[in-house]
Chain A
């Protein structure tokens, strides 16, 4: 196997808040290969966005990298071993689409001017050449009438089109990794389908690697090669998308899949995971899912480690059972 493009190694991120120390990311390790799409799923507050922000070098006070490292092509990028801030990577080789498209576009600048800035900064093009490239980018993300559209302001675009503009900006520098944080959450399903199709197409055409953060297991099923499941600041399971859905190893993953109704079937009753995730100010000893887990045993009070569940599939639980059948019995 060739070297991974991105390695996250035991990454820790803390936030100093008035209420105390929040351990948002507690020892996350992940690798991403070239041309691979990794889905990052988990509850709200589990640390998905903070992990992505750490990779982008965006953790700032009150937050800090409290341990671990991120390496890009084997080179230290964040955390341990970093000597100089490697600015040529962020925004150029690694780009990100943020959770809220409205706040990431400047309402006072035309779309063309905003694209032009990125193109100038990273490709060194100006004037007519930059404009041509900007029109090509809008075209690539499926916005028709591109040359006219360049002179319009963000408010003249629909939500779906603004998201396409965000994607156009994110691929303008011809990056190798695109991090998309909930890129379609605010959009209607028909528009969402268009955006996902677009991402899949770009990935194939440009050989992009993608980290896709989402709540929607359906999106993961259709677009990702591998999946990492986060819970309370930790990765509790990773594997190929087929393995994770067919043989989820962690009770949280099992519950997540079984509590999601399917479009193509009717279940009599959904599995309901009682309780709520733990606060991250005093993360529990041992397995963070224990208070909600129907398969919990005394051993779960001790710290858990990721253990193999088959080739390329690890889960942070040794129970190895279908927790939710145990719970029903």
Chain B
């Protein structure tokens, strides 16, 4: 693969200010995302999963330049965009779009569907006239499977799945090459989720859009992603092609996560064994030293408490950050030689 990745993130960290209630106020902050690196190829879907508060949304927002990076570098289509400003940033924003979880609050209730979808076209001056905008809007609504008469109606008269389609039509208007989809189907009914998932898969195949697909639902992520990255407490602990993640997980946290997801097949599910780790989610303001998973990890050793394990190759295209699950790469090479 010599093609430039659509997106390349290197060593990204993001801090949020923390309000301190103390008498001697000091500007404190939490590091919500630490040293995250990832790449997405054109037309590829990278699934990003992890528990609540692990930093998924923050990674997405940093990529879209909606929160500042406190360290690291973000490159988009070969250009460093970490510190773009003004006009250049506005142009960039047209090429990267966001689809949000909540189809109920992400559309302006006082605008017609036509205006909602046309707005980015007009703002970026991509259409010369209202008539041209209307033509574009018709095409976009058709593309996402909305009836033509949807254009003149308001968001409240549509169901959740339809509103999510409207959001997608709007995101597509500027022909982006990257879409960050942050939990795009979590708020939808089970029977409607498949409609939206299928639509996103079609778009990606036909238009070659790269997706960062953020979700809790590991089954949907398996279905839609080419590769999957697992986050834990602000760090990526494993990233690999989807079959490798689901069939041959390396990191103990990934294993625990996968074993906790129930499978919708009674005999299979009854026979599965869960790896239940004690303990609670990490307080990101005061994360554990070394490997952040060590207080819950069944195979943790001394080293895990003291040193941060690097995200390193464990097999072909398979990276993980664990001191005690390694050597897979070395082993393979021995076998092959």
Interface status of B289 (Cβ within 8 A of chain A): no
Interface status of B285 (Cβ within 8 A of chain A): no
- Asked whether, in the complex, the Cβ of B260 is within 8 Å of the Cβ of A189, the reply is yes
Q: How far is the CA of A306 from the CA of B161 in the complex (A)?
A: 30
Chain A contacts with B in 230-286, Cβ cutoff 8 A = 241-242, 245, 252, 255-257, 259-264, 266-267, 269-274, 276-277
Kindly specify which of A27-35, A72-80, A192-200 makes contact with the partner chain. A192-200
Q: Nearest-CB distance from A1 to chain B (Å)? A: 22
Known: A189-B257, A193-B276. A216 touches B262 (CB 8 A): yes
Interface status of A86 (Cβ within 8 A of chain B): no
The 8 A CB mask of B254-278 against A (1 = contact, 0 = none) is 0011111111111111101010110
Interface status of A152 (Cβ within 8 A of chain B): no
Residues of A within 8 A of B143 (CB): none
Residues of A within 8 A of B198 (CB): 269-270, 272
Interface status of B51 (Cβ within 8 A of chain A): yes
Q: Nearest-CB distance from B185 to chain A (Å)? A: 11
Q: Nearest-CB distance from A44 to chain B (Å)? A: 5
Residues of A within 8 A of B259 (CB): 193
Cβ-neighbour of B197 out of A188, A241, A270 (below 8 A): A270
- Asked whether, in the complex, the Cβ of A190 is within 8 Å of the Cβ of B162, the reply is no
Smallest CB gap from A192: residue in B: B260
Smallest CB gap from B196: residue in A: A272
Q: Nearest-CB distance from A144 to chain B (Å)? A: 9
Known: A259-B191, A270-B198. A264 touches B276 (CB 8 A): no
Kindly specify which of B93-101, B214-222, B311-319 makes contact with the partner chain. B214-222
- Asked whether, in the complex, the Cβ of B264 is within 8 Å of the Cβ of A260, the reply is yes
Interface status of A22 (Cβ within 8 A of chain B): no
A: number of interface residues (CB 8 Å) = 46
- Asked whether, in the complex, the Cβ of B269 is within 8 Å of the Cβ of A222, the reply is yes
Residues of A within 8 A of B197 (CB): 261, 270
Q: How far is the CA of A44 from the CA of B274 in the complex (A)?
A: 29
Q: Nearest-CB distance from B49 to chain A (Å)? A: 10
Q: Nearest-CB distance from A117 to chain B (Å)? A: 26
- Please indicate which of the listed interface residues B159, B195, B257, B276 has the most CB atoms of chain A within 10 Å of its own CB: B195
Cβ-neighbour of A276 out of B162, B193, B194 (below 8 A): B162
Q: Nearest-CB distance from B152 to chain A (Å)? A: 19
- Asked whether, in the complex, the Cβ of A273 is within 8 Å of the Cβ of B219, the reply is no
The 8 A CB mask of B219-256 against A (1 = contact, 0 = none) is 11011000000000000000000110010000000001
Cβ-neighbour of B261 out of A220, A242, A263, A277 (below 8 A): A263
Known: A193-B276, A263-B218. A218 touches B264 (CB 8 A): yes
- Please indicate which of the listed interface residues A43, A245, A252, A270 has the most CB atoms of chain B within 10 Å of its own CB: A270
Interface status of A158 (Cβ within 8 A of chain B): yes
Known: A158-B280, A193-B274. A259 touches B193 (CB 8 A): yes
Q: How far is the CA of A149 from the CA of B265 in the complex (A)?
A: 38
- Asked whether, in the complex, the Cβ of B222 is within 8 Å of the Cβ of A218, the reply is no
Known: A197-B274, A221-B269, A242-B267. A188 touches B216 (CB 8 A): yes
- Asked whether, in the complex, the Cβ of A190 is within 8 Å of the Cβ of B257, the reply is yes
- Asked whether, in the complex, the Cβ of B222 is within 8 Å of the Cβ of A266, the reply is yes
Q: How far is the CA of A216 from the CA of B260 in the complex (A)?
A: 13
Residues of A within 8 A of B52 (CB): 159, 188
Q: Nearest-CB distance from A212 to chain B (Å)? A: 12
Residues of A within 8 A of B242 (CB): 266
Smallest CB gap from A187: residue in B: B52
Known: A189-B216, A197-B274. A218 touches B193 (CB 8 A): no
Cβ-neighbour of A263 out of B189, B192, B263 (below 8 A): B263
Residues of B within 8 A of A222 (CB): 262-263, 266, 269-270, 272
Cβ-neighbour of A256 out of B190, B216, B261, B270 (below 8 A): B190
